Amino acid sequence: VGTVLFLASDASRMLTAQMLIVDGGVL
């Protein structure tokens, strides 16, 4: 379960970062 939570949080972190980049107009 710990690994699943870690992967999920890592994926959501990457998704959030990408959304911020797109929202900021960098991409």
Task: Give the integer Cα–Cα distance in Å for 23 and 4.
Answer: 28
pLDDT of residue 27: 54
Retrieve residue 12's tokens: 């959501």
Per-residue pLDDT of the chain (27 residues; tens, 9 = 90+): 788 888 888 888 998 888 888 877 765
pLDDT of residue 19: 85
- Residues 21 and 27: beta-carbon distance below 8 Å: yes
Rg (CA), the chain: 11
Task: Give the integer Cα–Cα distance in Å for 25 and 14.
Answer: 17
Retrieve residue 16's tokens: 């959030």
